[in-house]
Amino acid sequence: MGFILGIDEAGKGAIIGPLVIAGLLIKSQKEKKLKKLGVRDSKKISPKKREELAEKIKKISDDYIVFKIYPKQLNFEMEKRTLNEIELIRIAQIINSFQLRKPKIFVDSLEANEEKFKNKILARLRDKEVEIVVENSADEKFVVVGGASILAKVERDREIKKLQEKYGYFGSGYPSDERTIEFLKNLDIAKYQEIARLKWNTFERILKEKTQKKLDYFCS
């Protein structure tokens, strides 16, 4: 009776809020239970359904881990690392924490070259002999990864709700959302470190525009 471990993230491309990475560990025969619940890629499930599923997934699981990396920490780490490298470190930490149970591991790849990313993960593991599957769109292909994606998305949604209660409504928190961009344009600069990822090109452009407007105001 073996274990399987699925790992996925939520909020990688966001400009506001945390990056959340989840690992879901279950006995292999519990896959059927996850499928019966309707577990799949979190992006294809409504927020309300995700909330319901997340609690059921936790009850079915043998263990799980959720890492929440907040903007201030991301800003600090991105001084030296790329976002992929930051996420890679957490993925390896999740795997290392479960290695005593020797699970078969399924990871949603962060890179187009799946084999290359797999080797990057293996390089950070204590046990190099683990069975690991790294694929793009793994949350659609493997139900245990879909379960991890739901846990990650629900936790990120909760954190976004807390931020909106504190700072006001800002949409999804992604650069493609006009409400998010408009919110950042009007937000006090002193609050950026707590809520936004400062290394994003989108953010740097917004900050440059705000700074220019202030200069234009004082020079006019």
Q: What is the pLDDT of residue 40?
A: 76
Question: Would you state the structure tokens that stand for residue 108, as one six-digit string?
Answer: 């949603």
List of the chain residues with pLDDT < 70? 1, 41, 210-220
Torsion of CA 59, 62, 68, 74, to 10 degrees: -160
First to last CA, the chain: 74
CATH T-level assignment (fold) for domain 169-219: Arc Repressor Mutant, subunit A (1.10.10)
Query: What per-residue confidence (pLDDT) applies to 218?
Result: 46
According to the model, what pLDDT value does residue 31 have? 92
Query: Does this chain's domain 3-164 share its CATH topology with 169-219?
Result: no
State the DSSP H helix or E strand holding residue 167, giving kind and residue range, or none if neither. helix 143-167
pLDDT of amino acid 65: 97
- For residue 71, give both structure tokens: 């903007």
Long-range contacts of 54-57 (CB under 8 A, 24+ apart): 54/150, 54/151, 54/154, 57/24, 57/147, 57/150, 57/151
pLDDT digits 0-9 by tens, 75-95: 999 999 999 999 999 999 999
Domain assignments of the chain as residue spans, ordered by start: 3-164, 169-219
Give the global pTM: 0.91
> The CATH number of 3-164 is which of 3.40.718.10, 3.30.420.10, 3.30.470.10, 3.20.20.70?
3.30.420.10
